[in-house]
Amino acid sequence: MDKFFYEWGNRDHPTLVFMHGVGATGLSFGDLAQYLMSDFHVVSFDLPGHGGAAALDEEKSYRSTQMAKWIKEKLDLLGLSEIYLGGHSWGAHLALYVAGLYPESITGLVLLDGGYFQQNPDGESEDQVLKNVEAFHESVRFPSQEAFLESEKAESPRWSQEIEAAALDQVTEIDGEIRLVVSPFTAKAIIKGIDLEPTAKIFAKVQSPALLLRSTLPNELEGERQKAIKQLIEGVPQAKVQSILNTSHDIYRDAPEKVTAKIKEWIQLRLNE
């Protein structure tokens, strides 16, 4: 079997399997893994249509229930037990579905600023979000990898070799330009799938403990965050929610030390029970 996953740390340690958000890849967790790997075995992989993973042919294949089945098959191939399943953004959404549909496979959930909103926090309609996706995809055009990386560095509060590798893994050369790997079809199918199958539909089936690490920026979304967190806790009473101050949606990249400390503390509590 060809290796389809990324791996950091020692397999003798508790295993964290992370799933990325829309447009990212498994390598997006390489930077966080540098902080986690002394205490954890960290694994990630590319979701369909991202990085080196082939895209799916039909929109319906990106629905949350179908994606959970795809992920379960990958977890089975890894042959690991006692998995703490984590995810960022869309990856957190999917982690909840995997835990709800395949509870025997998951020891616990680590949600990185994802899985709790049931609608776009900006209040935009699905049609507008889909138009924004198309426009953003068209806007990502660079004459070289160097130009692309300069743009990424300008927007990032931190930089490392791992962050650079993750950034480059999101793009490819098409007709002499640096473009996104993920296609508009895939990105829009994911958004439609999230809207058709929000996490609220699976909350009642989630039995494993869960930790949501949530962002606090931008400040104007705090009211919507609080409403979404309340719904999560009502649906998944065993979920614990902790904020990490001064972090954006890319919480694990903004504050990897704090994210690592919160995860370590929470898992240690689980192991001591």
Contact 64, 193 (CB under 8 A): yes
Residue among 92, 101, 105 at smallest CA distance from 15 = 105
* 3-state class (DSSP) for residue 237: coil
CA distance 26 to 46: 5
Q: Which pLDDT score is estimated for 122? A: 83
Global pTM reads: 0.96
Q: Which pLDDT score is estimated for 1? A: 40
User: Which domains are present in the chain?
Assistant: 5-272 (3.40.50.1820)
List of residues 6+ apart from 49 with CB closer than 8 A:
55, 56, 181, 182, 183, 186
Quick: pLDDT tens for 75-92. Answer: 999 988 889 999 999 999
Quick: pLDDT tens for 229-259. Answer: 999 999 999 999 999 999 999 999 999 999 9
Contact 236, 265 (CB under 8 A): no
Residue among 262, 271, 247, 246 at smallest CA distance from 86 = 262
265 burial via Cβ count (<10 Å: 0-12, 13-18, 19+): exposed
pLDDT at residue 162 above 90?
yes
Q: Which pLDDT score is estimated for 2? A: 57
- State the average pLDDT over residues 113-136: 93
CA distance 83 to 12: 12
Residue 264: pLDDT band by 50, 70, 90 thresholds?
very high
Q: Which pLDDT score is estimated for 64? A: 97
Residue 32: pLDDT band by 50, 70, 90 thresholds?
very high
User: DSSP letter at 12?
Assistant: T
Q: Which pLDDT score is estimated for 80? A: 87
CA distance 59 to 184: 12
| CB-side neighbour CA atoms (13 Å) of 93 | 26
End-to-end CA distance of the chain: 37
What is the overall mean pLDDT for the chain?
96
Query: What is the β-pairing status of strands 41-45 and 5-8?
Result: antiparallel
Cα Rg of the chain, angstroms:
18
Q: Which amino acid is at 168?
A: L
Q: Cis link prior to 218 (omega < 30° from 0)?
A: yes
